[in-house]
Amino acid sequence: MSVLVLALLLSATPHAPQQAGSALLDPTREARVQALGKMLRCPMCQGLSIADSGSSAARAQMDRVRELVAEGKTDDEIRAYFVARYGEWALLEPPAHGVNWLVFLLPVALVLVGALVIGRLVRHSSVAQAAGAQPAPSPASADPYLDAVRAELKK
């Protein structure tokens, strides 16, 4: 009987404290808040935006974005606010300047170098075949059983 009462009490009370989120804005400004939230990285989650994350830190940051939009700040001012506070890490897609160019150019450079290496290997192989190069003969083994098997395979 006491287990049933305990189960009823637990189901009637919330298990985790809820965050007191800020009130939603009008649809136009709320869409802007969501778009800005998709550009900012969640500090707790790996690779998620604050709009997609359910963590309390992300909800607090979304509330801050909502407050800044309500104050009339521009998108650039809001992004600058988060960059000033958390660094460029706060942006899901950092701008391509300075060392960040490596992130964009290095994969392309690696693919080009790989294509060049493969092209040279294929060309070298075809030149060797055209010249009639024979592969080096395998050295005679000291194992008579292995020699017998090789002789049988050649028949």
Asked whether residue 131 carries a pLDDT value surpassing 80, the answer given is no
* pLDDT on residue 6: 46
Residue with tokens 């990285």: 41
CA distance 46 to 40: 12
The Cβ-side half-sphere exposure at 46, using a 13 Å CA radius, reads 0
**The predicted structure's pLDDT at residue 132:** 63
Q: Is the pLDDT of residue 3 over 80?
A: no
Q: At residue 68, does pLDDT exceed 60? A: yes
Residue 14 has pLDDT above 50, yes or no: no
Closest-CA residue to 83 (of 127, 142, 39):
39
- Note the maximum CA span of the chain: 92
Asked which of 4-13, 23-32, 98-107, 108-117 is least confident by mean pLDDT, the reply is 4-13
Mean pLDDT over residues 80-88, rounded? 89
Question: What pLDDT does residue 50 have?
Answer: 92
Residue 16: per-residue pLDDT? 35
Query: Token match 């690779």: residue?
Result: 47
pLDDT in tens, 73-83: 999 999 999 99
pLDDT over 70 at 17, yes or no: no
| Strands annotated E in the chain | none
Mean pLDDT (the chain) is 79
pLDDT of residue 112: 93
Convert the pLDDT of each residue in 38-48 to its tens digit: 989 988 888 88
Q: What is the DSSP letter of 13?
A: S
Angle, helices 56-70/75-86, rounded to nearest 10 degrees:
140
Mean pLDDT computed over 106-129? 87
